[in-house]
């Protein structure tokens, strides 16, 4: 089986002990935080009928991995000032947990960063990105994109790329799987944790790891909607009934 997703920056979440040898991990300060993240939209429900496509690269029909997939969008805001001093740029790494009350849980990671120094280069950004693996575990957390905005203005917010199993395909038709693998849930929650951050200064990289007991950055409870579960602070109420719930940003 070949799994694919529409991602651009491979990361994961909560590194095992074996990963700690890569870099000297420094305990992170909870007070050093350059971004605010919140959930603005989340939907979990039955997959749409058009859940397959032909991939020329694999010369195969690709099928949605789960028949009860998830999708989450975040609002990301740059906190005023330079909260993490003495560096040229920062990438913060977050984990997103989508959990059903029946037990199944999906984990994704999301990285977000900006530069403080205007001379910061793309090669420095690549160097920082290579250290995301020092914080995250590819065996547990799925790959996802990184939002890195050059010269990110204070108090400016962006809408994240989509997170969730809706973007994952494989070469074989699948069963229900995912969050409905233990039967249809009656409750779905989405929780965001920060797991650490990466800084670079004059080409030197430092990696800071948050404590596993850190309080969640944000947590929301989805409500029953149509045949699934929804949290919505993104789509206007008058548009929602006509919205493809797996493509709210296209509304």
Using one digit for the tens of pLDDT, what is the confidence trace for 43-87? 999 988 777 788 888 888 888 889 999 999 999 999 998 888 789
Alpha-carbon distances of 17 from 21, 26, 136, 211, rounded to whole Å: 8, 14, 11, 14
Greatest mean pLDDT among 30-34, 133-137, 212-216: 133-137
More confident residue, 101 or 178: 101
Q: Supply the mean pLDDT for the chain.
A: 86
In a domain, 183, yes or no: yes
Greatest mean pLDDT among 32-36, 119-123, 189-193: 189-193
Write out the chain in H/E/C secondary structure: CCCECCCCCCCCEECCHHHHHCCCEEECCCCCCCEEEEEEEEEECCCCCCCEEEECCCCEEEEECCCCCEEEEEEEEECCCCCCCCCCEEEEEEEEEEEECCCCEEEEEEEEEEECCCCCCHHHHHHHHCCHHHCEECCCCECCCEEEECCCCCCCEEECCCECHHHCEECCCCCCCHHHECECCCCEEEEEEEEEEEEEECCEEEEEECCCCCCCCEEEECEEECCEEEEECCCCCCCHHHCCCCCHHHC
Confidence label for 213 from pLDDT (cuts 50, 70 and 90): low
In a domain, 7, yes or no: no
**Per-residue confidence (pLDDT) for residue 56, from 0 to 100:** 86
**Per-residue confidence (pLDDT) for residue 250, from 0 to 100:** 67
**Per-residue confidence (pLDDT) for residue 22, from 0 to 100:** 53
pLDDT at 4 over 70: no
User: How, if at all, do strands 35-44 and 228-232 pair?
Assistant: antiparallel
The residue among 193, 91, 98 whose CA lies nearest residue 146 is 91
Confidence label for 251 from pLDDT (cuts 50, 70 and 90): low
Confidence label for 211 from pLDDT (cuts 50, 70 and 90): confident
**Per-residue confidence (pLDDT) for residue 214, from 0 to 100:** 67
Count of structural domains within the chain: 1
The rounded percent of the chain whose pLDDT value lies above 90 is: 61
The residue among 160, 14, 144 whose CA lies nearest residue 77 is 160
pLDDT at 135 over 50: yes
The average pLDDT across 111-126 equals 93
**Per-residue confidence (pLDDT) for residue 162, from 0 to 100:** 93
**Per-residue confidence (pLDDT) for residue 50, from 0 to 100:** 78
User: Which residues 6+ apart lie within 8 Å of 130 measured at CB?
Assistant: none
Domain extent, residue 78, equals 13-234
User: Which residues 6+ apart lie within 8 Å of 181 measured at CB?
Assistant: 104
In a domain, 228, yes or no: yes
Whole-angstrom distance, CA of residue 188 vs CA of residue 42: 10
Backbone torsions φ then ψ of 145, nearest 5 degrees: -80, 165
**Per-residue confidence (pLDDT) for residue 192, from 0 to 100:** 95
Taking only Cα atoms into account, the Rg of the chain, rounded to an integer number of angstroms, comes to 19
């Amino acid at each position: 089986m070949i799994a694919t997703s529409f991602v651009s920056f491979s990361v994961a979440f909560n590194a095992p002990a074996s990963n700690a040898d890569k870099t000297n991990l420094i305990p992170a300060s909870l007070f050093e935080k350059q971004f605010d993240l919140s959930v603005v939209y989340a939907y979990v429900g039955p997959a749409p009928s058009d859940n397959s496509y032909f991939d020329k690269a694999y010369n195969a029909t690709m099928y949605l991995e789960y028949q009860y997939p998830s999708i989450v969008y975040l609002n990301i805001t740059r906190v005023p000032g330079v909260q993490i001093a003495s560096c040229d740029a920062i990438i913060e790494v977050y984990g997103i947990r989508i959990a059903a009350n029946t037990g199944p849980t999906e984990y994704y990671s999301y990285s977000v960063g900006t530069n403080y120094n205007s001379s910061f280069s793309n090669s420095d950004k690549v160097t920082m990105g290579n250290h995301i693996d020092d914080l995250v575990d590819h065996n547990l957390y799925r790959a996802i994109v990184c939002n890195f905005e050059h010269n990110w203005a204070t108090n400016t917010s962006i809408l994240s790329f989509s997170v969730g199993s809706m973007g994952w395909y494989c070469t074989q038709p699948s069963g229900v799987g995912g969050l409905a693998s233990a039967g249809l849930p009656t409750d779905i929650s989405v929780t965001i944790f920060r797991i650490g951050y990466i800084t670079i200064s004059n080409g030197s990289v430092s990696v800071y790891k948050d404590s596993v007991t850190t309080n969640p950055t944000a947590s929301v409870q989805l409500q029953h909607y149509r045949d699934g579960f929804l949290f919505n602070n993104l789509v206007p109420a008058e548009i929602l009934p006509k919205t493809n719930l797996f493509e709210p940003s296209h509304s």
